[in-house]
Chain A
Amino acid sequence: MNVDIKDVTRKFGSAQAVAGVSWVAGAGVHGLLGPNGAGKTTLLRMMATVIGPTSGTLRLLDRDPGAHPQCREIRRRLGYLPQNLGYYPGFTIAEFVEYFALLKDMPPNRVPAAVASAIEQVGLGDKARAKLRTLSGGMLRRVGIAQAIVNDPHLLLLDEPTAGLDPEQRVAFRTMLREIGERATVVISTHLVEDVAAACSEVVLMNAGRLVFRGTPRDLVARGASVVGDGGSGDSPLERGYAAVLAEARR
């Protein structure tokens, strides 16, 4: 399994961001849903090897991220888009994506074609030589996605990837995710249930640091349908399921 998490916790001082999460995920697109402060970003950062767990075990791509050589191997095959993408304003799109391709230890002779492919996939081919400071928020998000996919990752972690994308780009992005999900594990943390409905094969719902639901989007819809009139608020069937599971978890 590409993601194997057992009873993982993460504390920041006295605050517990993730409280005993266990989760196993293979290839496919997995949606991580939950309200603000549920622990989604912390869980994603642990999977991205940016921070370690306070307790519990984490195995990624069948390797232990706590061991240095294995961690490096994981990182070579990892794609990560953080919630707040930091960037160098003076870099062009191509330079930025190339920088991360090199940091991911890609063989230098493979980098130019991989950079071109990633930039084309996010539809920024005509802007490849534009400085990052000249781009809109949505375009920067797409640059972030390009650097995440440049190494053809086996584990792709995206935190709020569709923030700032217009509806047309969102549709194209979901298509791209589904394609990547056929051969890799894709985890997207999002507030947008329509992204989950359209692209994800599995939904994981977090609340207060805990995993409170795991199933297919259809299962989540069923949970909403079963509690109509009792916390089943929301505009879409999936939103009603989301609200129903959260209401149950908070009881």
Chain B
Amino acid sequence: MRPATNARAGSGDEIDPRRVWLGVAGELWRREPSHVERLASRLLRSAGLARALVITPSLMLSWLVASLVVITVGAVATAATGTPFVALFAPPVAACGIAFAYGPGIDPAWELARSTAVDDRLVLLVRALVVFALNALIGVLATLASSAARSGLTAGAGSGGAQAVGSVTYGWLLPMTAICLLSLATSALLGSSSAGLVAGLGGWALAVVGGRAADGAFTAAVTDPGWRLVYLSMALCCGAGAVFALRGVRGPR
């Protein structure tokens, strides 16, 4: 270890080799941000927040590929059978991503990050929003693909295609929002990603089982319009819970 002042020494016309070396080393060790990180930095107006976003565990390539595989399997099964598997798979996949976005169990340097100027709650919110948006995009694409394939398979179904897409999208987007907010609120309130994961998956399992018990069909949770009010209420309650857990004007908790 070397004294701090040496690094900052040097005045007048003298050339301080140490200062020169630090300039060179800084450039040598400098990491080139990716295009995504640069874009995020511009949009978020914070290089730190952008860096925190691009290292989100549930936005890593391996995680995205795994999510894509699950939803693709759902899309293929939906196209082949007509059963809305995309709608059944999308909410729990997104909820897992939200639970693993940020927290003491997921981020090894969580304690350290909490002492920095970029607010940890802001990091969580930005990460959760991006994870949700990405999962929603994958879900929409899978829904469109499976509907197009189904229309091709079923002669004369083309006219009802757009309506079906709207219905199915509405059918899973609302439950996905509710389940994601449940996961976010639980992980934020309890400070545990595992708790968020259990809440998200458990909540969805209960909805599916409850739908089957009420309607007799295991797809009732995404096809029965009566459930929409339940999801809406759940989304509002969990949203309020998440806001309560993440309220940002009280300084350190």
Contact = CB atoms under 8 A, between A and B. Distances in A.
B108 A102 contact: no
A152 B111 CA distance: 20
Contact of B114 (A50, A112, A120): A50
A102 B48 contact: yes
B2 A68 contact: no
28 contacts: A45-B111, A49-B251, A65-B251, A66-B250, A67-B251, A73-B117, A76-B117, A78-B115, A86-B110, A88-B108, A94-B31, A95-B31, A99-B48, A99-B51, A103-B113, A104-B48, A111-B47, A115-B26, A116-B23, A117-B7, A119-B25, A119-B29, A120-B2, A120-B25, A121-B2, A121-B4, A149-B4, A176-B4
A122 B248 CA distance: 35
Q: Which of A87, A113, A142, A179 has the most CB of B within 10 A?
A: A113
A52 B2 contact: no
B3 interface: yes
Given A50-B111, A129-B29, A103 B116 contact: yes
Given A80-B115, A94-B29, A123-B1, 9 more contacts: A49-B114, A50-B115, A51-B252, A86-B109, A94-B30, A99-B55, A103-B113, A104-B117, A121-B7
A65 B253 CA distance: 10
Nearest to B29: A94
Contacts of A123: 1-2
Contact of A49 (B18, B21, B252): B252
Task: Give the interface size bracket for A toward B.
Answer: 35 or more
A82 B114 CA distance: 11
A73 B116 CA distance: 10
Interface stretch (A167-175, A189-197, A208-216): A167-175
Interface of B: 1-5, 7-8, 18, 21-23, 25-27, 29-31, 46-48, 51-52, 55, 107-119, 248-253
Contacts of B8: 117
B48 A50 contact: no
Nearest to A74: B117
A238 interface: no
Contact of A113 (B3, B22, B119, B251): B22
B253 A52 contact: yes
Interface string A84-118: 11111000101100111011110010011111110
Nearest to B110: A86
Contacts of A179: 3-5
Contacts of A115: 26, 29
Contacts of B253: 51-52
Nearest to B24: A116
Interface of A: 45-46, 48-52, 64-68, 70-73, 75-76, 78, 80, 82, 84-88, 92, 94-95, 98-100, 102-105, 108, 111-117, 119-123, 125, 128-129, 142, 145, 147, 149, 152, 169, 172-173, 175-176, 179-180
A105 B22 contact: no
Given A88-B55, A120-B2, A123-B1, A68 B115 contact: no
Closest 10 CB pairs of A and B: A112-B26, A86-B108, A172-B1, A102-B48, A103-B116, A94-B29, A116-B25, A105-B117, A116-B26, A66-B251
Q: Which of A67, A71, A129, A147 has the most CB of B within 10 A?
A: A71
B25 A128 contact: yes
B7 A52 contact: no
Q: Which of B1, B114, B116 has the most CB of A within 10 A?
A: B1
A175 B1 contact: yes
A152 B25 CA distance: 18
B116 A100 contact: yes
Given A172-B2, A179-B4, A48 B115 contact: yes
A72 B22 contact: no
B119 A72 contact: yes
Nearest to A90: B55
A117 to B, nearest CB: 4
